[in-house]
Amino acid sequence: MIIPYHTCRMIRLTLENGVCQDAICGLIQHAAFLCQPWFAVPADVEEACRVGKAAMTLFERFDSSEIIPEVFYCYYGFVAVNKEPLQLCTDHLRKGFEVGVSAGDATIACYNSIHLIRTALLGGEELSSLLKEADYHLEVLTSFRIKLSMPYINAYRETISTLIDKGQSTSPQTTESKTVIPSYEAEPNASNTVYAQRHNETLYSNKVLQS
């Protein structure tokens, strides 16, 4: 796996040469990786939260606004949700999305979007407002042609719609939303297979919420 190797390499260079802006991303990526649900254990999550908190302190000292989308996506999407209030995480993910869109960094913006909608839903945000925000995000992703992230947000949107009125007046078929959700079969490759598996897991968790 290239990402863990890349992260560990960044941390080693930091230890050898000192802290820089890229070191912040490396430390937070390391913390986020430790929090991945398929192998995380409580001790690793505790360590990840300490590392992430220290990295965010460095982030504030460097005042590196250009890396806000990446830093907020990794920290508030994977790490802070284990310790911090979900509303706080939602607010920062929303800022990460907005800064990413404004900067034209559509890929990182869409990662913020996925975690934002999920965290806002789990944090108890007002459903009608969240539904409108999900529709807006889908429109933005459509304009940027970011296909792989759209099924995740669509799954959360379906859950929000179900919780509001079982989709009677809030489903895409009964609203003005005209967003087309692409299928994975349209662009088959190894990367899409991984995303498809994660999407299936997202669908399953949303079905649990809907029940």
Rounded CA gap, 107 and 190, in Å? 18
| H-helix or E-strand spanning residue 55 | helix 42-62
pTM attached to this predicted model: 0.80
Phi, psi angles (nearest 5°) of residue 18: 105, 175
**pLDDT above 80 (res 63):** no
Q: Tell which wins on pLDDT, 69 or 36.
A: 69
Nearest to 86 by CA among 49, 130, 123, 127: 123
Q: Looking at residues 160-173, what average pLDDT do you find?
A: 81
Rg (CA), the chain: 18
Residues 107-125 have a mean pLDDT of 93
Among 107-111, 142-146, 178-182, 201-205, the range of highest mean pLDDT: 107-111
Closest CA to 30 of 44, 16, 15: 44
pLDDT at 11: 85
Contact partners, residue 29, CB within 8 Å, separation at least 6: 3, 6, 7, 10, 74
C-alpha 11/C-alpha 134 separation (Å) is: 36
Determine the average pLDDT of the residues in 75-83. 95
* 192 pLDDT above the threshold of 70: no
Helices (H) and strands (E) counted in the chain, each on its own, are 9, 0
Dist CA 42 CA 51 (whole Å): 14
